[in-house]
Chains A and B, each alone.
Chain A
C-alpha cells in the first residue's frame, strides 16, 4: 500500500519506487519513535507523505536553480522548451468508451491533484477513515471530506459513460 500511495502521489513508477524505499529507510531508522504499534500503518503513510513532500520541494529548488545554468533555454529534441510546466492531459472524451476501464480510470486519475489522488486511494483501497486521512496528510478533517467529495465528483464526471450500470 505504501508503494501505491507513493505511486498516486508521484504519478510514475520510478519516483514511486524511490519514495517507497526512502519511506522504509526512514521508518526503520525512526522505529523507536513509534509509540503506538497499532498505528504503524498511519505512521508509515505519514512518513511516505513527508518523503514525497520533501522530494517535491527539493525538485522545485533544483528546477529553480536549473534556470540559472547557461543552457537553461535549450529546447528538447521535439522543439518543446526544456523547461515547461506540465499541462494536464486532454479531458476525457468519447474515445474513453472504447478504451479499457483501467486505462480510462488511470487517465481520469492523472488529471487530479496528486494529494487528491492519494487521499482517494487511502479511502477507497485502504479503507482509512477521514480522521486517519487527516492525520496522515496533515489536512483538516473538513478539508479531507470536501476534497474526497470533489475528487470523486470529478472522476464521476470524467468516467460518466463507463459508470452507468457498472457493478449492478
Chain B
C-alpha cells in the first residue's frame, strides 16, 4: 500500500470501517512507515479534541420552547374539536332544512350575486361559472413559479453576441454552454429571445467583435459599456488578436494583456477582466486588471497569497472590485470604500453575487440599453464566467 492510499484509508481505519483485507494491508504499511503513523496519531488526537470540545450544551430557553410546543398542541386541538363539531352540526341542520323545503324552492330564481349563483350550482347540479378571482400580479406569479421550482424558465437564456459560435478550438466553451442548456432546460432557451436578437442592429454593430471566442470566458454589459473576462494563459488569449473594437481602435490595453501569458503553472486560475466604453471606442482604457481564484484544493500558502489580489472595475458611480472569496473559489464584488481608495461617491450597487441552486451568479443591474432595463445573470465559476440570461424589469 502506498502513502496516498494509506492516508485516504486512515480515517476509516480509525473508525473501524475498513474491510479486513484493506485493514491488514494498512497495518503492515503503518508498521514500516513512521510518517503515516504520525498522521494517524494526529487524527486520534483530533478525535479526542472534538470529543472534548465540540459538544455544546443545549440552551435552557430552547428546552422550554420545545416543551411549551408539546403542551400547546393538545390545548389547540381541545379548543378546535368542539368548534369543529359545532360548525359541522350547524351545517348539517342547514342542509336538512334546505332539503325539507322541497323542489319548488330549489328551482326558484336565484338572487343576484356570486353567492347565490354558487348556491344554485351546488344544489341543482348545474355548472355555473365561478365568480372571477382577482389574479396575482405578474411579480407574484413569477414568485410563485419560483417557489414551485420552475423559476428557471424565467431566465431568458441568452449568450453574448460573440460567444455562441464557440469556434476556434473552443471545446471547453462549447462544453460549458451545453452544460448550461442541460442545467436550465432547452425549452426555456428556445422560447426566449436571445440577447443578440433583442438588441437593435445599431446596438449589435457597436458591440465588440470577438476574434478569438475560445479566449473569452464571458462578457458583461455595464452602463455605457461592457466588460470581458478571459482566462490568462488561454491559448486564444495568448495568440490571436482577442478583441476588436467596433471603430477599429487598436485597444492598447487588450494588446498589453495579450502579451501576458500565465506566469507559472499553478492551480490558481487567473482571470483578466477588462472594461471598455462603447462610446469611447477604446477597449481596456477604463479598467484592466487581473484577478485570481484558487480552486478547491489549492493548499499551498504561495497560492493563497497569489489570490489576495483583485480586479477593479470603474463604473459610472464609483469603483468596484472583484476578488476571490477564499479557498473554495467564491467571488466577492464590493464597492470601494473611502478607506480603500478615497472613492466616496454614494450610489447604487450595480453588481452583486448570489447563490442559487448550488451555483453562483453575478447579478448585473444593466441600465445601459436604451429601451430596456434589465438584470443580467452570469454564471460564475473557477472555470468560467458566462452570461446566463436576463430579466426585464421595466422601461426607462
Contact = CB atoms under 8 A, between A and B. Distances in A.
B339 A145 contact: no
A81 B59 contact: no
Contact of B39 (A25, A82, A156): A156
A145 B11 contact: yes
B327 interface: yes
A120 B50 contact: yes
Interface residues of A, number: 63
Interface in A76-97: 79-88, 91
A83 B375 CA distance: 16
Contacts of A149: 8-12
- Interface size, B (range): 35 or more
Nearest to B48: A167
The prevalent SS among residues of A at the interface is: helix
Contact of A85 (B39, B58, B327, B331): B331
B351 to A, nearest CB: 9
Nearest to B57: A3
Contacts of B352: 67, 72-73, 81, 83-84
Interface in A17-44: 17, 20-21, 24-25, 28
Nearest to B336: A79
Interface string A127-149: 00110000000000000011011
A148 B11 contact: yes
Contact of B46 (A65, A75, A156): A156
Contacts of A166: 45, 48-49
Contact of A152 (B11, B147, B348): B11
A103 to B, nearest CB: 9
Given A120-B50, A149-B10, A152-B11, 13 more contacts: A7-B56, A20-B62, A60-B355, A60-B356, A80-B337, A81-B334, A81-B335, A85-B332, A109-B54, A125-B50, A145-B11, A163-B45, A164-B42
Query: Considering the complex of A and B, which 9 residue pairs feature the smallest CB-CB distances, nearest first?
Result: A73-B349, A87-B325, A79-B337, A149-B11, A166-B45, A88-B326, A73-B348, A163-B45, A167-B48
Interface of A: 3-4, 7-8, 13, 17, 20-21, 24-25, 28, 60-61, 63-65, 67-68, 72-75, 79-88, 91, 101-102, 105-106, 109, 120-121, 123-125, 129-130, 145-146, 148-149, 152-153, 155-157, 159-160, 162-168
12 contacts: A4-B56, A25-B69, A28-B73, A65-B146, A72-B349, A85-B330, A85-B331, A85-B354, A121-B54, A149-B9, A149-B12, A156-B39
